Structure 1
């Protein structure tokens, strides 16, 4: 798989997943030295060649041939919380098919202390170079898992004592009034469609983020970031 963008490529280099790096001519020498110090094969090319290979001009002058990103399992996420001796904080995505939203949510989840992100197999963007680029390297650190059936996973989490909160703009309950300490799952739905009916029904509560502007809804990745920050703050980490 071709990965592009400086942070994602540098994280993949640290992870040992890169076989070759392609750099645009004119990339600053300090960055070139940093890449060469990893011992990975480096090749230089015209920027237009990188544009064609990446299918975008937003590659920042660096492409890398890397192993495909691998899905984790839900068990990996649960084990991560257990090994850290922390109450679980997991993000569940219901129908997030835009790769930039997906990547931005992974980035926020890693930065704000979640133990992982889980998606339903048939209702998610794939783990792609666009996701990795938008996640800015977070895919190297945070488990991202697939599940065959999201409502069934919610049932499993609830049986394990996890409180499940779904984001919904029309909900009566304000996220600022929630107690987000303890094991928590935050469920984010697709923009426009929101959460599916069955997913909504499985949640312990639906919560909203108060807004004051004329536009009543937030981007899915922004909503996820706000909810995650509230969870981090409630746990005394913010």
Structure 2
């Protein structure tokens, strides 16, 4: 199957059904209707989604992750939003925009983990470049544990132009980088913020780094002085969430 056409795994499929994703059909392993597979069948019947029983070999042929757990949903392509919709969504919620910008993330597992953490931390949307960044694939769905269904994701042609645009709208842009001016907990992240997270190997590109208002680093004391992109992003997102919660209580 091509990119964006399948969702694998019980939890990811259940989440897709619940959120009203456009599902063409659901394939389940013939005769294996135990546990949460029954939940999939029940929800699919309620939404009048076609259920097809197939043998395990068929599921394995379609699977991109190798972890289908006996169920694969055939879906229409993931619908990206427009960049402006993210700021509009924050306004509708009467919240200061909280945006995550990814600078060339190539690992679908990292992307999925970032989406999952972003959803938990109250991020309004994620921006990715149209080129040199992993798209929303079935592996991303699986890694996000269904959080893709609750997260606005927009593609932009040029990240640096987008950063200029949101800075004009009063959003402060913080880049995560080991050469940061200050630690993440020293920065004031309570306002309208955008976090820029760099690629797994290269980090932030030089031009993007120069566009950021502030470069922030994560405290590290071990011998390995770098973090996986999704872990670094997670620490940064939780710092924003923490400051917003503390700020609201003051």
- Decide: shared fold, TM above 0.5: yes
Unaligned runs of 5+ in 1: none
* Paired position in structure 2 for 1:146: 155
* Paired position in structure 2 for 1:169: 178
Shift of 1:11: 1.8
* Paired position in structure 1 for 2:11: 7
Q: Normalised by the size of structure 2, how large is the TM-score?
A: 0.90
Q: Which moved more, 1:37-46 or 1:182-191?
A: 37-46
Deviation per residue, 1:151-173 (Å, 9 max, x gap)? 11111111111110000112241
Distance 1:45 1:207, change over 3 A: same
Aligned counterpart for 2:165 among listed residues 136, 151, 156: 156
Distance 1:34 1:65, change over 3 A: closer
Q: Normalised by the size of structure 1, how large is the TM-score?
A: 0.94
Q: Which moved more, 1:213-222 or 1:42-51?
A: 42-51
Distance 1:237 1:142, change over 3 A: farther
Distance 1:43 1:210, change over 3 A: same
* Matched-pair contact (CA < 8 Å) for 1:27–1:61: no
* Matched-pair contact (CA < 8 Å) for 1:165–1:205: yes
- Number of residue pairs matched by the alignment: 238
* Matched-pair contact (CA < 8 Å) for 1:93–1:189: yes
* Paired position in structure 2 for 1:23: 28
Distance in 1 (CA, whole Å) between partners of 2:54 and 2:160 is: 48
Distance in 2 (CA, whole Å) between partners of 1:106 and 1:172 is: 26
* Paired position in structure 1 for 2:42: 36
Distance in 1 (CA, whole Å) between partners of 2:169 and 2:149 is: 27
1:135 aligns with 2:154: no
Shift of 1:130: 1.0
Shift of 1:132: 1.2
Shift of 1:203: 0.3
1:1-238 superposed matches below 5 A? 1-14=5-18, 15-24=20-29, 25-29=31-35, 31-39=37-45, 40-236=49-245
* Matched-pair contact (CA < 8 Å) for 1:12–1:66: no
